[in-house]
Structure 1
C-alpha cells in the first residue's frame, strides 16, 4: 500500500496551491519546472507550508477537495495548526480518518533540500 501526501504550497503572490502526490520531492520539482498544475504554471511555487500523509489516493483526493473548498482563512488555520484539518474534516464529514500531520522540522528539511536543488 502506497501512502499519499496532501500538501499546501505557498506561491509567490501569497496564494496557496493544494495538491496530492506520492513523492513530495518529484512533485515540487514538476511545479517549479512549470510541468505541474496549471495554477503553479502561472503562480511561482515557493515552498511547502503544510503536508499531511494518508493511507491511499482515494482519501488524498477527498481531503484535497475538502481543503480546496475552504476559504483562505480556514486554510491558514490548517497551516498554523495542521492537526485541525483532521478535526474539521472528521466533524464535518462524520468520519474518523487516519491522517498524519508532518511536523514543521521535517517540512523545513524538505524545503531546505528543495531550495538547495533549485540553486544548482
Structure 2
C-alpha cells in the first residue's frame, strides 16, 4: 500500500487572533483547504490561518496521542517554547 495514505499528520496552526489550533489528519492538504474555506467550526471565525509546523506519523494512535499531548498543559508549554 501507499505509505502516504497510511501516514497521519499532527499540525499546529496560528490563527488571526494569535491563538493556536492543533489537529490531526491523514490528508493535510485537504484539511488545510477546509480550514481556509471556513469549513472547520473551530477556526472559521479566526481566519486567516497559517501553519506553524507539522509532524508525520506512520501510526495513527501515536499521532492521536501526540495531538492529545499538545492540547494538554505541558504540551502547550512545549509548543510555546519550541514552535511559537
Tell me the TM-score normalised to structure 2 length: 0.80
1:52 aligns with 2:55: yes
The Cα shift of 1:55 comes to 1.2
Inter-partner Cα distance in structure 1 for 2:64 and 2:48: 21
Structure 1 consecutive aligned stretches of length 4 or more whose deviation exceeds 6 Å: none
Among 4, 12, 17, the residue aligned to 2:16: 12
Structure 1: which 5+ runs fail to align? 81-120
Match of 2:70 in 1: 67
Partner of 2:83: 79
C-alpha RMSD over aligned residues: 1.8
**Which of these two proteins has the greater Rg computed from alpha carbons?**
1
1:31 aligns with 2:53: no
Which structure shows the bigger proportion of residues in helix conformation?
Answer: 1
For structure 2, the residue ranges without an aligned partner over 5 or more in a row are none
Q: Secondary structure at the match of 1:17?
A: strand
With CA pairs under 8 Å and 6+ residues apart, which has the higher RCO, 1 or 2? 2
CA deviations on 1:74-109 (whole Å, 9 max, x unpaired) are 3222316xxxxxxxxxxxxxxxxxxxxxxxxxxxxx
Report the TM-score when normalising by structure 1: 0.58
Bigger strand fraction: 2
